[in-house]
Amino acid sequence: MIVESAAGGTLNYSKYLFPGWRAKIDGQNEGLIPGYPFGQISLNVPPGKHIVDLNFSETPLKKTLDLISLGAVFFCLFLIFKAKAS
């Protein structure tokens, strides 16, 4: 999104700030802060016209846990089919 402000300020995005959210202003990483009062995504935008990019991606820990869960599902299916074959 393109943001333009003469004085700069705080941009609030109505999603909760969870690990995995990233922000870039004009291609540079920017720190996110929890907004008041509900912990929504907030970031400080300097004066002028800027391109703000907010995106979410899973953290490495969550990706690892997803793979472990998927492996457990396949292992359970293997045990079920092995028991039926016996």
What are the tens digits of pLDDT across the range 33-60? 999 888 999 999 999 999 999 999 999 9
Calculate the average pLDDT of the chain. 93
**pTM of the model as a whole:** 0.71
Contact indicator for 44, 10 with CB cutoff of 8 Å: yes
pLDDT for the residue 86: 74
CA angle in degrees (0–180, nearest 5) for 25-56-11: 40
pLDDT > 90? residue 84: no
pLDDT for the residue 85: 83
